[in-house]
């Protein structure tokens, strides 16, 4: 295929020799900097194609300051929510000519910062970050010198660009739907520190209902299963439950099936995320779909163009998807 002996990497010199031009003309053609006659540029491009030349992007990034790459640092890419969000970030970024690198910080602030520094030193064009953030984090992120923005941020903080999902409003929609069905003893499964807890609580209070029992659960399948077993044990005092994520809800379903409790007949469920898994569970989960596509598009725009929407548009609304687990036909 090529005139290059052995397996050594094709260089700009090889391209120049093949095209019969100087090294500088190859560089002008590929990177700009000086005009090149169209026929000459065509010859250079033909040589690049024939020889399979890949410009050295580290060298080019140093010169041009752009690598056409963005990084995304998430807590755990095996969580279906993060997995789907990363895919959308990738789809949006790709349409703008950027490749996306995904890294897992394992819920560790130290690893998140380390990866941000690593990506910064690789001249990526920007990094989307997730998780908790405080003023000190803002300083540390700025010190890396790389563009950054928060992805899926539900609280605002000075100096940090970011959009997120209105978790409290979504939880209110789901809880209100369960109340509309006529359930009066509505439990909660999830983390109390999460905004969804507040949404569930305020909706019950405003409807004049006593809050049902609370089952604390981390966002893991094991956590959902344990909470589901506890729920099954106290099923006499519960007729419905709001569960903070689909992954938890799938494991809750399993625990209720095992205890031979009918869903929605004996305990109705409304959940949160709108993951593909929720659509194919048994019964299919009524859930608040997170606006992952919109979230990804806004986050990429913020990162690349520093576009910050007005404050009242920084929390995106989820959408209640009514299926069977709530009692709808």
Tell me: does residue 142 bind a second copy (CB under 8 A): yes
Tell me: does residue 237 bind a second copy (CB under 8 A): no
Number of chain positions touching a second copy (CB under 8 A): 63
Residue 237's contacts (CB-CB under 8 Å, 6 or more residues apart) are: 185, 212, 213
Tell me: does residue 258 bind a second copy (CB under 8 A): yes
Task: Name the one range near a second copy by CB under 8 A: 20-28, 96-104, 203-211, 237-245.
Answer: 96-104
Task: Name the one range near a second copy by CB under 8 A: 12-20, 117-125, 164-172, 294-302.
Answer: 117-125
Give me the least distance between CB of 102 and a second copy, in Å please.
4
CA dist., res. 218 & res. 221, Å (int): 9
CA distances from 297 to 87, 104, 186, 232 (A): 11, 21, 35, 40
Give me the least distance between CB of 137 and a second copy, in Å please.
13
Tell me: does residue 13 bind a second copy (CB under 8 A): no
Q: Which lies closer to a second copy via its Cβ, residue 180 or residue 282?
A: 282
**C-beta of residue 156 within 8 angstroms of C-beta of residue 302:** no
Residue 284's contacts (CB-CB under 8 Å, 6 or more residues apart) are: 278, 323, 324, 325
Task: Name the one range near a second copy by CB under 8 A: 14-22, 33-41, 118-126, 234-242.
Answer: 118-126
CA dist., res. 192 & res. 205, Å (int): 16
Tell me: does residue 7 bind a second copy (CB under 8 A): yes
Tell me: does residue 253 bind a second copy (CB under 8 A): yes
Task: Name the one range near a second copy by CB under 8 A: 229-237, 250-258, 298-306, 313-321.
Answer: 250-258
Q: Which lies closer to a second copy via its Cβ, residue 188 or residue 225?
A: 225
CA dist., res. 243 & res. 177, Å (int): 13
Q: Which lies closer to a second copy via its Cβ, residue 58 or residue 155?
A: 58
Task: Name the one range near a second copy by CB under 8 A: 85-93, 166-174, 237-245, 296-304.
Answer: 85-93
Tell me: does residue 31 bind a second copy (CB under 8 A): no
Tell me: does residue 45 bind a second copy (CB under 8 A): no
Tell me: does residue 224 bind a second copy (CB under 8 A): yes
Tell me: does residue 229 bind a second copy (CB under 8 A): no
Task: Name the one range near a second copy by CB under 8 A: 148-156, 229-237, 277-285, 293-301.
Answer: 277-285
Tell me: does residue 218 bind a second copy (CB under 8 A): no
Tell me: does residue 303 bind a second copy (CB under 8 A): no
Interface residues with a second copy (CB under 8 A)? Answer: 1-2, 7-10, 52, 54-62, 67, 69, 76-78, 80, 83-84, 86-87, 90, 99-104, 115, 117-118, 120-123, 139-140, 142-145, 221, 224-225, 250-251, 253-254, 257-258, 276-277, 279-284
């Amino acid at each position: 295929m090529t005139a290059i002996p052995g397996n050594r990497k094709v260089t700009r010199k090889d391209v120049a020799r093949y095209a019969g031009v100087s090294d500088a003309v190859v560089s002008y053609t590929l990177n700009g900097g000086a005009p090149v006659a169209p026929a000459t540029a065509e010859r250079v491009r033909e040589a690049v194609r024939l020889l399979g030349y890949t410009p050295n992007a580290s060298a080019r990034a140093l010169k041009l300051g752009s690598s056409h790459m963005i990084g995304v640092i998430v807590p755990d890419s095996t969580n279906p929510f993060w997995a789907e969000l990363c895919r959308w970030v990738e789809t949006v970024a790709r349409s703008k000519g950027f490749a996306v690198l995904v890294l897992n910080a394992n819920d560790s602030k130290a690893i998140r910062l380390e990866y941000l520094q690593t990506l910064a030193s690789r001249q990526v064009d920007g990094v989307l970050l997730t998780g908790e953030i405080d003023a000190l984090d803002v300083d540390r992120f700025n010190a890396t010198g790389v563009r950054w923005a928060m992805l899926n941020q539900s609280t605002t903080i000075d100096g940090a660009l970011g959009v997120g999902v209105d978790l409290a409003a979504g939880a209110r929609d789901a809880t209100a739907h369960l109340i509309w069905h006529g359930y009066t003893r509505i439990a909660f499964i999830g983390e109390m520190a999460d905004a969804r807890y507040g949404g569930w609580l305020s909706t019950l209070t405003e409807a004049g209902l006593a809050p049902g029992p609370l089952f604390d659960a981390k966002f893991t399948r094991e956590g959902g299963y344990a909470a589901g077993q506890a729920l099954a044990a106290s099923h006499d005092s519960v007729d419905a439950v709001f569960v903070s994520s689909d992954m938890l809800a799938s494991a809750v379903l399993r625990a209720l099936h095992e205890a031979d409790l009918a869903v929605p007949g004996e305990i109705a469920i409304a959940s949160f995320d709108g993951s593909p898994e929720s659509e194919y569970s048994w019964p299919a989960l009524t859930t608040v779909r997170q606006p992952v596509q919109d979230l990804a598009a806004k986050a990429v725009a913020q990162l690349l163009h520093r576009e910050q929407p007005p404050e009242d548009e920084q929390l995106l609304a989820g959408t209640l998807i009514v299926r069977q687990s709530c009692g709808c036909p």
